[in-house]
Structure 1
Amino acid sequence: MVLFGTLVNGLCIILGTLLGLFFTRIPDRFKETIMNGIGVAVLLIGFQMAFQTSSIVVVLLSILTGAILGELFHLERKLNNIGSWIENRVKPKQGSTIAQGFITATLIFVVGAMSVVGALDSGLRGDHEVLLTKSILDGFVSLVLTTTLGIGVVFSVVPVVLFQGTIALLATNIEQWLPEVFLSGFIVEMTATGGLLIVAIGLNLLNITKIRIANLLPSLLMVGFVYYIYQLITL
């Protein structure tokens, strides 16, 4: 089943969120320290991914062109509007962070090598090991995020399943469209570009910066175009 790993991933996020709801009353100082710990760990993951690049030019151009597209389409504002719409429908208590929880969890769970590589493995080889490993990690992260950001974390299941499921389904035929050498290089640069976005998430979690990360998401789409042009120029 091509979507097995993706569905398990979504289920683990839901379970982690439900468990996290039981720990929302812990003292604020615990929540702050836990969130700082997550932020530091996210930074480490992001740097590890970013350092895998074989061409910093591809990563840089992908980030720049993606940022321009993100700002043109106001993706950050639109994602915030979606979170606010969900918040209004759920009618939470005053001071709720549903929108923040939705956006933060979505970016953490969707932007990363494991999402892309795991979905490709599911589609290309029927191997769900990467996504199953990611499911366990996401379950724990969703539990901790829920203790500080609330129920909004659970709504990240929708973009996670749609994103990974689409890649897995498309990957069943991707080898007919792309040479294996190009695909391998593309995954490396996608991983590195995603790693920089993960670093940005970590910086925001630590309140060091206020980067509009959602406006950088088109960078992941631009990697393919930039890498293809780069290959034509350098070959």
Structure 2
Amino acid sequence: MFLFGTIVDALAIILGTTIGVMLPKIPDRMRDTVTKGLALCVIIIGLSMALSDMSDILLIIISIVAGSILGELLNIEGGLNRVAHRLERAVTRIYRGPIAEGFISATLLYCIGSMAIVGAIQDGIQGEYRTLLAKSMLDGFMAVVLSSTLGLGVGLSAIPVFLYQGTIAFVSHLVGNVLNTPMFIDTVTATGGLLIVAIGLNISGLTKIAVGNMLPAIVLAPLCKEIVHAIHAFW
């Protein structure tokens, strides 16, 4: 069931919101500790994926470097931020109030990020939902925190999260029927794992890596491997 991770994520947001509106404001110290604990879980998941295929480490390094250069030239991270700001202005023009504020804040937090994209792609191609399950833990906890101050609007963000991630997973699933080979899957998994480690480091607050600008590496890695395989077959 390739949408399992997306469904769990949406339900986690709703559950977190329900808990948040019933609880008093969460202390900053507790929020910081739990967030960093979840960040460690994300890093471990990313490492387990990155280390799953060390046979093509050189290709993965080349893909990360080339993908980062391409992403910087395209400014993917900046594009995601611009989309976020436009969405915020559009919704605010339609409705102003606590529901709108919670909805906008949570939607941007949950959707405009690399973890949603990487996780949905893995879910669609492989039925691998560990990344989205980790994201659901983060999203559920953040829903508790946000809804304790911004109200029920946070829970409504589960709808765009489901549609956004579900669409990416569905398209990836259709494409994956053609590309679902060990050579493709292993390379994408290892490269995506490195990006997830970077996301975990960002969540922990230890650094700020523009992971969005590294997303082209997920496409370049299997492409490089296919080229190398074709050259070996030719010779």
TM-score range, shorter chain: 0.7 to 0.9
What do residues 169-205 of structure 1 show as CA deviations (whole Å, max 9, x unaligned)?
A: 2334x1xxx6x7xx21221111110000000001101
Which residue matches 1:145?
A: 142
CA distance in 2, matches of 1:220, 1:135: 17
Structure 2 unaligned spans of 5+: 93-99, 148-153
CA distance in 1, matches of 2:42, 2:186: 19
1:31 aligns with 2:31: yes
Which residue matches 1:197?
A: 195
Which residue matches 2:176?
A: 171
Offset of 1:116 from its aligned partner? 4.4
SS of equivalent to 1:5:
coil
Offset of 1:138 from its aligned partner? 4.8
CA distance in 2, matches of 1:84, 1:234: 47
CA distance in 2, matches of 1:225, 1:10: 27
Offset of 1:37 from its aligned partner? 0.7
What do residues 119-152 of structure 1 show as CA deviations (whole Å, max 9, x unaligned)?
A: 235xxxxxx6x45x77765543421232346639
RMSD over aligned CA atoms reads 2.9
Asked whether the 8 Å contact 1:84–1:98 carries over to 2, the reply is no
Asked whether the 8 Å contact 2:42–2:134 carries over to 1, the reply is no
What do residues 32-76 of structure 1 show as CA deviations (whole Å, max 9, x unaligned)?
A: 111101111111111111111221111111111211221121110
How many residues are matched? 211
Higher alpha-carbon Rg: 2
1:12 aligns with 2:13: no
- CA 99–139 in structure 1, closer or farther in 2 if over 3 Å, else same: closer
CA distance in 1, matches of 2:191, 2:212: 14
SS of equivalent to 1:111:
helix
CA distance in 2, matches of 1:111, 1:135: 9
Structure 2 residue identity aligned to 1:110: I
CA distance in 1, matches of 2:123, 2:210: 26
Offset of 1:20 from its aligned partner? 1.5
CA distance in 2, matches of 1:153, 1:231: 43
Which residue matches 1:161?
A: 166
Asked whether the 8 Å contact 1:35–1:148 carries over to 2, the reply is no
1:68 aligns with 2:54: no
- CA 210–149 in structure 1, closer or farther in 2 if over 3 Å, else same: farther
Which residue matches 1:85?
A: 86
Which residue matches 1:125?
A: none
Q: Percent identity?
A: 28
CA distance in 1, matches of 2:228, 2:38: 35
- CA 46–35 in structure 1, closer or farther in 2 if over 3 Å, else same: same
Match of 2:117 among 110, 128, 145: 110
